[in-house]
Amino acid sequence: MKTKSIVLLLLFIVACKTDNELETIIIKEKDFQNDETIIGEYVEISPVPLCPENILIIDSLLIIKNGDMCDDDFFYLYNKNNNNFFSSFGKRGRGPNEFLSVKMGGQYLKNDSTIKIWVHDRRGFKLININRSIETKKIFIDDKLLYISRDFHPIIDAFLLPNGDIVGKSLSQSGRLFYHNTYNDSTRWVEYFPKVRKLPFDENMKDNLYIGPTRISHDNSRIVSALELFKRIDVFTAKTDHLFSLAFDDSPENPDFFINPDDPIPSNLMHYYYDLFLTEKYIYALNINISEGELNKGMDSGYSELHVFSWEGKPITLYRLNHLIYSITIDEDDGYLYGLLLPNVEESNSQLARFKLK
C-alpha cells in the first residue's frame, strides 16, 4: 500500500506543471474516472419568471433569481418536491427594501426552522429571511451590511466572510479577484491570469477576456473561479491565495476575443465554463462548450457538460447533458442536477430541467 501511494503521488506531481508560476494540473477528457451521458426531463413550474438568471436549492426549497432587465419580482420560490409555487418577492425601485440590481451568490444560513440567503446590490449585502418573506409575501430583510466600496463596481460576484471581509470578482482593470479587509479598508487584487500573448485591441475589454463564474465553499474557506473563454478552473483560499489550477489540454492559449477590430467577437469563439456549484466533496463546473455563433441562435441547441472534480483537483465524472443549460444547482438529497435552459420550439414554456446523477 505504501509503494502504491508513492506511485500515485509521483503521478500527480508529473501531471502538474508551472503555468505563469502557478501550480497547474493539466486535464484531458480521458482522465475522468467516469464518462456518462444523461438525459434531462423538463420541470414545469408556474408562474414562470420572465427572465430567470440563476437557481439555488436549499433543502426542499427551489429559488430562482430573476434578471435585472425584467419588470417582475426578483425572487421566485417553489417546493422542489412537488413544484408548487410558494411566493415571489423583491420589488424594483430605490426604496429601503427594493433593488435596482441584485446578485445571489449562493451563500446562505440555515437552522432547523429558518433559511436566510445573502444577496448584494450596489449598496451592500442584505440577509433575506426566506421563511418570513414567504409568510408575508414581501421581502423581509434581517440584516444589512453596507460595506461594498464603489472601487469594486461593477461587481460580478461578491461574498461576505464571517470576519466581515469581502472577496469577489468585478469588471475592473485592477485584477481578476479582490479581497477587501474591512478593518483597515485595504484591498488586495489577484492579477489577471493566465497570461496571453496578445491582449484585446481595446484595453477596456481586458477584464471581459477573463469573465466567468466565481463561487465560495459553504464553509467560506475556499474560492473557485472558472473562466468562460479558457477551459480552466482556479482554486484559492478565501483570502485569494492560489492553491491550484485545472486546465484542459485544449484550453485556448489566446482566445480570439477582440483581437481583430473588423471581427471582435468571431462566430467560432468558444465559450466554456458558465456556472459553478460547490459541495463539501466536489466542485461541479458547467461547461456549455458552444461557439459564439451557436450561442447567438438563442435556443436550446447542442448540449452541455458537467465536470465534477474533487477538492484535490482529481477529475471524477464527465456528464454529457442533452440540453444547453446556463445555471445549475445540485440537489444532494435526491441526487439531481437542476439547470435553467433556453426554451426550444417544442417546449417554449420550459425553463427548467433536471438530470439524475449517477
Give the residue extent of every domain in the chain: 18-356
pLDDT of residue 343: 58
Question: What are the tens digits of pLDDT across the range 89-142?
Answer: 998 888 888 888 899 999 999 988 899 999 998 878 999 999 999 998 889 999
Fold of 18-356: Neuraminidase (2.120.10)
Question: What are the tens digits of pLDDT across the range 286-345?
Answer: 999 999 998 877 666 668 999 999 999 999 999 999 999 999 999 999 999 999 987 554
- Count the neighbouring beta carbons within 10 Å of the beta carbon of residue 125: 21
Report the predicted TM-score, pTM, of the whole model to 2 decimal places: 0.91
DSSP per-residue string spanning 41-109: EE---SSPPSSEEEEEEETTEEEEEEPTTSSS-SEEEEETTT--EEEEE--BSSSTT-BSS-EEEEEEE
Please give the mean pLDDT across all residues of the chain: 89
Bond into 194 cis (ω within 30)? yes
In total, the chain counts a number of residues equal to: 358
Contacts of 145 (CB under 8 A, 6+ apart): 124, 125, 126, 127, 160, 164
The residues with which 233 forms a beta bridge, in sequence order, are 226, 246
